[in-house]
Structure 1
């Protein structure tokens, strides 16, 4: 066993968070989770290290340490781009973390090929296994094979696995015994009010638009959403938030299918703007077909959105039974027509969204469950955590 280093004093528990682009959060659900958990643990006496990716033209130096709100952020410079940069970043983070005595929380399994090195150096590893990435149709056969193998490596290399959805826990149970799996979803914050300023900037009015916030990819059904909405004049807008690339065939198809009532503001990472778009929308459209508990869907429930979601096991559990579902493009158009033609149907769905979010997706409960898992791996006494009545830590909760 390695002796504690300066990174992890002997008198306090230590955790290193790997697998994200870093904090403060600016990109997605994993970064938000990393930021919220790091702040929570730091406030409770943990020594917290978060690895942050920094893409540069020339590496000098490789590692830079900066403190942010009591958290040690290690910025790792990589000169590569795209997927190569991510793999290089994961490799350098793993090598660095292996030299320091801390429990390692790994978010995602893209860099799973490096996890055996952490175990060989005696590190305890807790891995959030994210969604079933190798099932996404956008990937080539070779990439799917890489993700399939990475999932197996992460499943068997990690000491413990976290599933963010009961269906993901069921899937992981085909790789590892259920006793090695904890089910902990994402969290969110209530949005009780939001400025209309961001709407003004986009030429929108409260309750005068539907909104979709997602990566524009086939498995998120963005093309179907745009086509269903654009079949006829609606008298309000559809706002599709996400990056569009003129060189991407699917993105060109999405633009080509849009009527003049569809607005493409691009990718938006400003939290105030995104919150305003959710809070003031007539309804939130969610076409995801692959994955577990989607952070954007959780945040929409906390904003009190009526949700129109693709009918699958992931969305059904996350959104709850009071929202609107569709199986195909015709069903989606019918759901859109219902929300536009019968606004009285929206109030019950909006109330149910907030109640459902409070029952399943409170940050305080989510972070407490993560801390309990980390304490157990560190060999330290556990503090009280929420019971499994909300489905947070129950690896065997059935899927409806």
Structure 2
């Protein structure tokens, strides 16, 4: 039954506790540092490597948020689309069963445009609101083949058309949305990501730091560091190939989510970085 709280359902991150990824870290920190206790967060979580599909029996709490698992089959690029649709449908059902008053459904990324109109009607029937975070220019990313990029652009347009409000974490994205989809008069709100201003208690003498340097065969203050997702648009090939032309004796330390995937093998073949012992993927 209704409890007087503002219920916010967050769809589109892989879930919390966060492992890596911008959306996952955002949701983790949003719930961790929650101040207004009149808000009840509900967070969809993807059950990975599932052989079946549907709603998992596992419901749990993390950082005060009520989390629910969605089992998703391994169906390639369409997996994220399936996940968002299943998660949003289930969230709508939870809100309906609990008789939530004016619930908010906050969808991260624009993956489900072709079905959003129908789901928006169900949300409106609950007197709820649909918020969208449009993320970046997903339709321009080099990791996607052309048909998938076309789908992303089409889906983005429909998401913008049917949402109540777009939460943009970049001023440039907000500007792009207003210009590209001006005919829909989109309502936007720019909210930047926060950051933790508390200084680390670790230093060069900390055992965990010394152990890390030893395990990775890296010397303190004797390396260049890159941290980022291992995707084509982050220009790893350019960084690696240009570094290899340098005469520096320092290491090139790369912290990323890389697994030996197609991009990794392609860059390795084209640059032969495995022959340069200065270049170190450290996990």
TM range (shorter): 0.7 to 0.9
Q: Deviations over 1:37-60 (max 9, x none)?
A: 234447522121100010322358
Gaps of 5+ in 1: 1-5, 267-400
Question: How does 1:132-211 map onto structure 2 within 5 Å?
Answer: 132-174=137-179, 175-176=181-182, 180-190=187-197, 192-193=199-200, 194=202, 195=206, 196-197=209-210, 198-211=212-225
What is the CA-CA distance between 1:104 and the residue it aligns to?
Answer: 0.6
Q: Specify the alignment match of 1:381 in structure 2.
A: none
Q: Specify the alignment match of 2:279 in structure 1.
A: 262
Give the direction of change, closer, same or farther, for the CA distance of 1:234–1:58 in structure 2 (3 Å limit). Answer: same
Find the aligned partners of 1:251 and 1:191 in 2 and give their Cα distance: 37
Whether 1:67 and 2:82 are equivalent positions in the alignment is: no
Question: How does 1:329-340 map onto structure 2 within 5 Å?
Answer: none
Residue 32 of structure 1, aligned match among 25, 28, 41: 25
Q: Deviations over 1:254-284 (max 9, x none)?
A: 6614622111123xxxxxxxxxxxxxxxxxx
What is the CA-CA distance between 1:207 and the residue it aligns to?
Answer: 1.6
What is the CA-CA distance between 1:63 and the residue it aligns to?
Answer: 4.6
Q: Is the 8 A contact 2:84 2:112 kept in 1?
A: yes
Give the direction of change, closer, same or farther, for the CA distance of 1:251–1:113 in structure 2 (3 Å limit). Answer: farther
Q: Specify the alignment match of 2:81 in structure 1.
A: 87
TM-score normalized by structure 1? 0.60
Question: How does 1:263-282 map onto structure 2 within 5 Å?
Answer: 263-266=280-283
Bigger mean CA deviation after superposition, 61-70 or 83-92: 61-70
What is the CA-CA distance between 1:227 and the residue it aligns to?
Answer: 1.2
Find the aligned partners of 2:270 and 2:76 in 1 and give their Cα distance: 24
Q: Specify the alignment match of 1:17 in structure 2.
A: 10
Q: Is the 8 A contact 1:223 1:253 kept in 2?
A: no
Q: Is the 8 A contact 2:54 2:72 kept in 1?
A: no
Measured on the aligned residues, the alpha-carbon RMSD in Å equals 2.3
Find the aligned partners of 1:69 and 1:183 in 2 and give their Cα distance: 25
Q: Is the 8 A contact 1:63 1:77 kept in 2?
A: no
Give the direction of change, closer, same or farther, for the CA distance of 1:191–1:262 in structure 2 (3 Å limit). Answer: farther
Q: Is the 8 A contact 2:54 2:86 kept in 1?
A: no
Higher RCO (C-alpha under 8 Å, 6+ residues apart): 1
Q: Deviations over 1:312-347 (max 9, x none)?
A: xxxxxxxxxxxxxxxxxxxxxxxxxxxxxxxxxxxx
Give the number of aligned pairs: 259
TM-score normalized by structure 2? 0.82
> The residue matched to 1:173 in structure 2 has which SS?
helix
What is the CA-CA distance between 1:220 and the residue it aligns to?
Answer: 0.9
Give the direction of change, closer, same or farther, for the CA distance of 1:138–1:84 in structure 2 (3 Å limit). Answer: closer
Give the direction of change, closer, same or farther, for the CA distance of 1:250–1:178 in structure 2 (3 Å limit). Answer: farther
Find the aligned partners of 2:39 and 2:149 in 1 and give their Cα distance: 37
Gaps of 5+ in 2: none
> The residue matched to 1:75 in structure 2 has which SS?
strand
What is the CA-CA distance between 1:94 and the residue it aligns to?
Answer: 1.6
Which protein is richer in strand relative to its size?
2
Whether 1:97 and 2:91 are equivalent positions in the alignment is: yes
> The residue matched to 1:17 in structure 2 has which SS?
strand
> The residue matched to 1:98 in structure 2 has which SS?
helix
Bigger mean CA deviation after superposition, 218-227 or 201-210: 201-210
